[in-house]
């Protein structure tokens, strides 16, 4: 599977595509890679070979994003439906752009104005998606587990992608985070490289409510990373040790010798009340700044999934400092990762 993944990347790269008509899905289909997955709901069950193939495919598709005309006919005739029950800037627009760059027909169900507001059930919504001929459905929902529920109502030939469910998972975010990390360290092959094994990442902030943290924990653990969680006791329950990670209520040990720091947004909308005394105190104890990152390795790199609370979990100066901050790269890489996922998942069953 590994070599086949690279064959796919090479086959796309070798085409030196300059206009929309110069990419041929049949050429891609001829590559004999053994991708079977139709849906992505979690990072927990991803195989290393699948992760490697997603990253390699994203790397190949990222070339399209550098062109003047960012469009290839790869998914012409395919229908992608974005079903966002919760606000999103980055995820929804990157799925939309990814689909459009691949020439799919993309439609957004505006939940605030749709029949879902009138009490339509998830099962009826699934029927609507089926009748509309969806090839892929991208769902975000404020409640954990809803994508898994929707999956029960959809036939296997419709790809379902979890774009974030409550505090549970955000697998495409974790994959774009990994893609960004591999890019900055110039890691080409996850299978042969053990570069990430024992690299230390500190994930700092509102761990309790973070689907990004959970998806990254499952993903990065598979690659052997040394994962340290840090946050106030109210946002970092000790039970999280059971995830096979180290936990800290203070920044010093968490950041010490860290190669990477992932800062998480303080999710005030998911907090009941009284979990932190004040935003000022949170910033004083856990806010990332140029001064604070001196606790980590000198060349430490900082990720944040966005949206940011500037001046709360991270200073603007650090967030905007290209020497340390990978935040803009994360956003840009989100499109390539989602192009790769749409392509791999939708065409999975059509491969020989």
Query: Using CB under 6 A as the criterion, which residues of the chain lie in contact with ligand CP when the complex forms?
Result: 88-91, 164, 170, 173, 305-307
Q: Which CB atom, from 6 or from 214, has the smaller least distance to ligand CP?
A: 214
Yes or no: say if 333 and 180 are a contact pair by the CB < 8 Å rule. yes
* Least CB distance to ligand CP at residue 304 (A): 9
Q: How far apart are CB 173 and ligand CP at their closest, in Å?
A: 5
| Closer Cβ to ligand CP, 170 or 200, answer by number | 170
CA distances from 266 to 110, 202, 280 (A): 26, 16, 12
List the Cα angle 180/185/191 in 5-degree steps.
Answer: 85
Rounded distance, CA 57 to CA 69, Å?
A: 19
Give the nearest distance from C-beta 91 to ligand CP in angstroms: 3
Between 60 and 83, whose beta carbon lies closer to ligand CP?
83
Smaller CB distance to ligand CP: residue 173 or 333? 173
Q: How far is the CB of 140 from ligand CP (least distance, A)?
A: 7
Measured from the CB atom, the residue of 88 and 108 that comes closer to ligand CP is 88
User: C-alpha distances in angstroms, 224 versus 3, 8, 173?
Assistant: 22, 26, 19
Q: Which is nearer to ligand CP, 5 or 166 (CB)?
A: 166
Distance CA 187, CA 52 (A): 11
Question: How open is the CA angle 63-67-72, to the nearest 5 degrees?
Answer: 75
Token pair listed for 178: 């990994």
Closest contact distance (angstroms) between CB of 307 and ligand CP is 6
Of the pair 211, 283, the CB lying nearest ligand CP is at 211
Q: How far is the CB of 92 from ligand CP (least distance, A)?
A: 6
Q: Quick one: 6 or 209, whose CB is closer to ligand CP?
A: 209
């Amino acid at each position: 599977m590994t070599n086949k993944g690279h064959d796919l990347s090479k086959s796309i790269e070798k085409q030196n595509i300059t206009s929309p008509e110069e990419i041929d899905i049949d050429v891609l289909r001829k590559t004999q890679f053994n991708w079977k997955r139709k849906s992505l709901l979690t990072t927990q069950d991803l195989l290393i070979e699948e992760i490697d193939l997603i990253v390699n495919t994203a790397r190949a598709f990222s070339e399209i994003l550098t062109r003047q005309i960012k469009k290839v006919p790869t998914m012409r005739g395919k229908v992608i439906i974005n079903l966002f029950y919760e606000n999103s800037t980055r995820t929804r627009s990157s799925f939309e752009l990814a689909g459009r760059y691949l020439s799919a027909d993309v439609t957004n169900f505006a939940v605030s104005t749709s029949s879902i507001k009138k009490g339509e059930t998830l099962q009826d919504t699934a029927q609507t998606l089926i009748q509309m001929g969806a090839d892929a459905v991208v769902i975000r929902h404020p409640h954990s587990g809803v994508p898994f529920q929707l999956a029960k109502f959809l036939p296997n030939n419709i790809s379902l992608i979890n774009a974030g469910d409550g505090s549970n998972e955000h697998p495409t975010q974790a994959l774009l985070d990994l893609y960004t990390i591999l890019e900055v360290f110039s890691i080409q092959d996850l299978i042969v490289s053990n570069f990430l094994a024992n690299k230390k990442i500190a994930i700092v902030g509102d761990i309790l409510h973070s689907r990004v943290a959970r998806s990254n924990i499952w993903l990065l653990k598979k690659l052997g990373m040394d994962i340290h969680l840090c946050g106030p006791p109210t946002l970092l329950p000790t039970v999280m040790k059971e995830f096979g990670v180290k936990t800290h209520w203070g920044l010093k040990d968490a950041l010490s010798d860290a190669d990477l720091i992932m800062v998480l947004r303080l999710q005030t909308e998911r907090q009941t009340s009284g979990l932190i005394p004040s935003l000022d105190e949170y910033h004083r104890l856990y806010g990332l700044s140029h001064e604070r990152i001196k606790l980590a390795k000198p060349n430490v790199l900082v990720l944040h999934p966005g949206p940011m609370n500037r001046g709360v979990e991270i200073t603007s100066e650090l967030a905007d400092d290209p020497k340390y901050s990978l935040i803009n790269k994360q956003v840009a890489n989100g499109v390539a990762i989602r192009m790769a996922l749409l392509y791999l998942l939708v065409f999975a069953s059509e491969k020989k």
